[in-house]
A and B are shown apart, each in its own frame.
With several copies, the nearest count.
Chain A
Amino acid sequence: MKKLINQPEHVVREMIEGFIAAYGRDYRMLENVNGVVRKEKKDKVAIVIGGGSGHEPLFIGFVGEGMADGAAMGNVFAAPPPDTVLAVTKAVDAGKGVLYLYGNYAGDVLNFDMAAELAEMEGIETRTVRITDDVASAPSDRIHDRRGIAGDVMVFKIAGAAAEAGLPLEEVERLARKANDNTRSIGIALTPGTLPGADRPTFTLPDDEIEFGMGIHGEPGIRREKLQPADRLVDHMMDLLLADLPFRAGDEVVVLINGLGSTTLMELLIVNRRVAQVLRDKGISVYDTDVGSLCTTQEMGGMSITLMRLDDELKHFYDQPAYTPYYQKRKR
C-alpha cells in the first residue's frame, strides 16, 4: 500500500526523530528506546502514557504542559516493551511517583505491569489507571474488560491538570480514575487502514457498509450495517452512548468528535452538529467540544464520539491550561 515511509521496521524511530526535529525545543527522545519526554522535569507527580504506535497524535502528541510527562511507544499496534516504559518512567520521575495511563489492552497491561515491578525495584512508586471508554468493546457488566479509545485524551487532560496542580500520587490516580469512570466512547468504521509495510488493509468492508463499534486496531464491533446519512448514524451511536453511563438530563459534558484517519474535518463537524442537537434535545449541556483526529487507526475512515460527564471537581481540572503539540487549551 502507498505510504510515505522509508522502511517499515524504522517507522516508529523515524517518527520520533521527526517529532523531535519539529518540537525539540520542549521535548527530548530517549536513546535506546522509543520514548519521548518533556525536556524540563517538573517537581510533581509524573504521568507516563503509552501504547502501540499507529494512532498518532496519540500518544506522542499529548506530552506537555498540563498533560503527560512522557510517552512510551511500542511498534505499530503493539504495546511498548517494559524496558521502554521503565526508561520513560526513570526519565520523568521527580521522586513524587509516576502514574501510568493507557488503554486497557492485554499487551499493554502485561508490559506496563512488568515495568511497574521493575520500577518498584528501582524505588519508584507507580500507580496505574487503565482506560476503558469504548462501550462497544464489552457489555457494562464486564466494564473492566472494555478497551480504551479516544477517551484516553479526557483522562490525560484531567490527570495532567491534577499533577500540574501539585497533587499527590493517590489524588492524581483518583482523579484519573474518576475521569475514566465518567467517560464513554463509541466508534464506527467506514474504510480500513493499513499497517506500514503490509500489502493488505487490516480488514475489508463492502462499499455500502460500516462496522458499528469497531475498535482502533480494527477489532470487530457490535454489528455491520448499511451506511446511512450521518444524522441517523449519530443517533444510533448516541442512543448506545447515553444509555451506558447513563448520561441524564441536567448533566454537563465535554464532547470529543474524533476522526479515525481519513475522515475529513468537514464530516466530523457535520457529525458534531447532530451530536449537539441530540444532547440539547436530551437536556444535557455541552461545556466544551473538540473536533479533530486525535486517536487514529492509520488512514482508517470513520469516527468516534466521546462524552465525559463533568462535576465541579472534574470541571475545575478540565479548566486548567494544557499545551502540547496536538492538544491545547487555554485556562478557562
Chain B
Amino acid sequence: MTSSLNVEQTRDMFLYTGEQMIKSKPYLTELDSAIGDGDHGVGMEVGFANANEKLRNGTFASINDIFKTVGMTMISTMGGASGIIFGTMFAGGIKGMEPLTRLDAGSLAEIMERALAAVKERGKADVGDKTMIDAFEPAVRALKESAARSDDLLEALRRAEEEAARGAENSKGYEAKFGRAKTLGARAIGHPDAGAVSVSIIFRSMREWVERHGA
C-alpha cells in the first residue's frame, strides 16, 4: 500500500466526497434548520454537484488544479457564507504553491494548514465560535501530527476524521458568534454547527475512499 494518490485518484476521491456530501443534504438541512436558516444542505449540494461536474468533464495537470477547481466552483456557484468558507477550505491552501502530482499525508497537511489560515482570515472565526472551524482546526492539527510522524495518507485521514467528528460534537457546547445562530444565544447550545458536521463528513468521505481504493 503506497502512501499517496496521483492526480487521477485525487480526482476520484473528491468525486466520491462530493457524492457523500450530496447524500447528506437532508441531514445538513435538518441541522441548519435547528439553529440557522436551513439552507446549508442545499448549498453544499449545489457546490459539490457543480464541482463534481467540473471534475468529471475537465482534465487536470496537478493536484493543485483539482483543489482549485473544487474550491473555486464552490465559491462561484454556492453563495451564502458557506460558499466562501468551504470554497476557501479547498482553494485557499494551494494558492501560490508549486504544482504537485502526488497527494500524501505531508502535502495534504500543508495544503490544509494554509487553507485553515485562509478560512480564518476570511471568516474571522476561532475554535469555540460554533463554526466549521470547530471541526476544521483540530482536523488540520491531526494531519500535521500525522505528517510529522510520517503516517501514511489513510492513517492521517483517520486521525483527521476522528478529530473533526470530535470537534463537531464539541460545537454543540458553544454559543454561536457568527451567522444566524448568533441571535439564539444560549438557545443554540446542544445543537452542533452544521458546517462543522460538514467538515467531519468531508474527512470521513476522503478516508472511506482511500481505505477502499488503496493509496
Contact = CB atoms under 8 A, between A and B. Distances in A.
User: Direct contact between A and B in the complex (CB less than 8 angstroms)?
Assistant: yes
A197 to B, nearest CB: 8
B70 interface: no
Given A81-B75, A217-B180, A110 B81 contact: yes
Interface residues of A, number: 33
Contacts of A220: 183-184, 187
B138 interface: no
A328 B73 CA distance: 39
B83 interface: yes
A49 to B, nearest CB: 15
| Interface-centre pick from B37, B42, B43, B184 (highest chain A CB count, 10 A) | B37
A80 B38 contact: no
A137 interface: yes
B46 to A, nearest CB: 7
Nearest to A222: B183
A145 B182 CA distance: 10
Contacts of A81: 75-79, 83
Contacts of A111: 79-80, 83-84
B38 A78 contact: no
Interface stretch (A59-67, A69-77, A170-178, A301-309): A69-77
A145 B82 CA distance: 19
A107 B183 contact: no
Given A110-B122, A114-B75, A202 B80 contact: no
B128 interface: no
Q: Chain A at the B interface: mostly helix, strand, loop or mixed? A: loop
Contact of B43 (A75, A105, A114, A218): A75
B39 A195 contact: yes
A82 B39 CA distance: 18
A78 B79 contact: yes
Given A75-B43, A80-B79, A137-B183, A110 B37 contact: no
A79 interface: yes
A218 B76 contact: no
Nearest to A202: B38
A107 B79 contact: yes
| Interface-centre pick from B29, B80, B81, B187 (highest chain A CB count, 10 A) | B80
Interface in A92-150: 105-107, 110-111, 114, 137-138, 145
B178 interface: yes
Interface string B57-101: 000000000000000000111111111110000000000000000
Contact of B83 (A79, A145, A198, A215): A79
A54 to B, nearest CB: 10
A74 B79 contact: yes
A160 to B, nearest CB: 24
A258 B182 CA distance: 24
Given A219-B183, A220-B183, A106 B178 contact: yes
B75 A82 contact: yes
B183 A84 contact: no
A145 B84 CA distance: 20
Interface of A: 9, 52, 74-84, 105-107, 110-111, 114, 137-138, 145, 195, 197-198, 200, 202, 215, 217-221
* Closest A-B pairs by Cβ, 4 of them: A78-B80, A107-B81, A74-B79, A110-B84
Interface of B: 29, 33, 37-39, 42-43, 46, 75-85, 122-123, 178-180, 182-184, 187
Given A80-B79, A110-B85, A114-B75, 9 more contacts: A52-B79, A75-B42, A78-B80, A79-B80, A81-B76, A106-B178, A107-B79, A110-B84, A221-B183
5 contacts: A9-B46, A52-B79, A106-B81, A111-B84, A114-B84
